[in-house]
């Protein structure tokens, strides 16, 4: 039995997230149907994380087991012929037997895109968050620095997926601006449910003066979700990069 790892990307606008569900169209469900037609009976495809409805992925990793003898390098071409235009497989390899797209992941980077404009751009509809005023990038950058490190992030998670611990390590949180466009990059060893979007919402509160940058450490210590900023809309969020060891890590670059 082979263990195949895929690199893919998708526009999440019309999907109810990654995770396969009975009644909603999902990325996993759509991909599974295509892989089954190419490789035969694949019972389950494991994704590197549960992206929410409307969230996009510039890079995503998934793995599945199959007895198909189709060479790995030919799989992207075969699978893509059966996928809609908003999902694309860009690479595939035979992964080690013990590889698991979620459990083997070392860290992930998300990007959140904001357009500071009162006028919407139809070409960015569903791909960026339109915020109708300027953001204080300096204050937000100072606050973002307080998220870096190992902390309990219960104050910036939504109740939903159960987890053994709410402690995570954020490796970096960078903010850049080009004209009206603001981009936030956050990398961590793992993310809690809605954690990235809640951190962005909290930084927007800092820009608005509702929370001071220096209050972030104390806010995290409270573990109280009510004290942090809102969960911003999903359509500005992109899974940008995933890190693995070995051959899969090389494929994901």
**What CATH code is carried by the domain that includes residue 146?**
3.30.70.660
Q: Check residue 22 and give its pLDDT.
A: 84
Domain that holds residue 68: 2-104
- Is 247 among the domain residues? no
Rounded distance between C-alpha atoms, residue 8 and residue 92, angstroms: 9
What mean pLDDT comes out for the span 36-65?
94
- The angle, 0 to 180 degrees and rounded to 10, between the axes of the packed helices 137-147 and 195-207 is 140
- Is 90 among the domain residues? yes
- Is 252 among the domain residues? no
Of 79, 104, 129, which residue is a domain's last?
104
Query: pLDDT digits over 95-110, tens only?
Result: 999 999 999 999 999 9
Q: Check residue 162 and give its pLDDT.
A: 76
- Is 245 among the domain residues? no
Q: Check residue 151 and give its pLDDT.
A: 98
Are 129 and 236 contained in the same domain?
Answer: yes
pLDDT beyond 80 at 168:
yes
Q: What is the CATH number of the domain that holds 82?
A: 3.30.70.580
Pairing type for strands 129-131 and 107-116 reads parallel
Are 55 and 149 contained in the same domain?
Answer: no
pLDDT beyond 90 at 142:
yes
What mean pLDDT comes out for the span 65-71?
96
What mean pLDDT comes out for the span 79-84?
98
pLDDT beyond 80 at 161:
no
pLDDT beyond 90 at 42:
no
- Is 201 among the domain residues? yes
Residue 24 in tokens: 């909603």
- What does each C-alpha distance from 120 to 48, 114, 126, 197 come to in angstroms? 32, 11, 11, 21
Residues 156/160/162/166 CA torsion (nearest 10 deg):
0
Are 136 and 91 contained in the same domain?
Answer: no
Domain count for the chain:
2
Are 97 and 27 contained in the same domain?
Answer: yes
Q: Check residue 220 and give its pLDDT.
A: 98
Q: Check residue 143 and give its pLDDT.
A: 98
pLDDT beyond 80 at 43:
no
Are 82 and 136 contained in the same domain?
Answer: no
The pLDDT-based confidence of 21 (bands split at 50, 70, 90) is: confident
Q: What percent of the chain has pLDDT over 90?
A: 92
Of 69, 104, 139, which residue is a domain's last?
104
Q: Check residue 28 and give its pLDDT.
A: 97
b/e per residue, 211-243, with b = 16+ CB within 10 A?
bebeebeebbeeeeeebbbebbbbbbbbbbbbb
The pLDDT-based confidence of 159 (bands split at 50, 70, 90) is: confident
Of 47, 80, 104, which residue is a domain's last?
104
Are 74 and 112 contained in the same domain?
Answer: no
Would you please indicate which residues are annotated as catalytic (active-site) residues? 52
Q: Check residue 166 and give its pLDDT.
A: 96
Q: Check residue 41 and give its pLDDT.
A: 79
pLDDT beyond 90 at 160:
no
Are 28 and 143 contained in the same domain?
Answer: no
- Is 80 among the domain residues? yes
Are 175 and 203 contained in the same domain?
Answer: yes
């Amino acid at each position: 039995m082979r263990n195949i790892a895929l690199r893919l990307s998708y526009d999440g606008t019309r999907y109810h997230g990654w995770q396969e569900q009975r009644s909603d169209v999902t990325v996993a469900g759509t991909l599974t149907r295509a892989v089954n037609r190419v490789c035969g009976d694949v019972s389950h495809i494991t994704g590197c994380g549960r992206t929410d409805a409307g969230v996009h992925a510039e890079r995503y990793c998934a793995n599945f087991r199959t007895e198909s003898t189709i060479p790995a390098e030919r799989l992207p071409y075969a699978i893509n012929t059966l996928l809609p235009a908003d999902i694309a497989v860009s690479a595939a390899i035979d992964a080690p037997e013990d590889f698991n797209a979620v459990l083997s992941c070392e860290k992930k980077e998300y990007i959140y895109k904001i357009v500071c404009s009162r006028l919407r751009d139809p070409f960015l509809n569903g791909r960026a968050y339109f915020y109708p005023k300027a953001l204080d990038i300096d204050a937000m950058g100072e606050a973002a620095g307080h998220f870096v490190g190992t902390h309990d992030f219960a104050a910036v998670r939504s109740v939903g997926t159960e987890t053994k611990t709410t402690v995570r390590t954020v490796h970096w949180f960078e903010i850049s601006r080009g004209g009206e466009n603001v981009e936030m990059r956050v990398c961590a060893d793992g993310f809690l449910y809605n954690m990235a979007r809640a951190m962005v919402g909290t930084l927007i509160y800092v820009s608005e003066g509702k929370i001071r940058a220096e209050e972030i450490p104390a806010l995290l210590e409270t573990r109280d979700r009510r004290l942090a900023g809102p969960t911003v809309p999903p359509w500005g969020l992109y899974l940008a990069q995933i890190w693995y060891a070995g051959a899969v890590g090389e494929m994901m670059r």
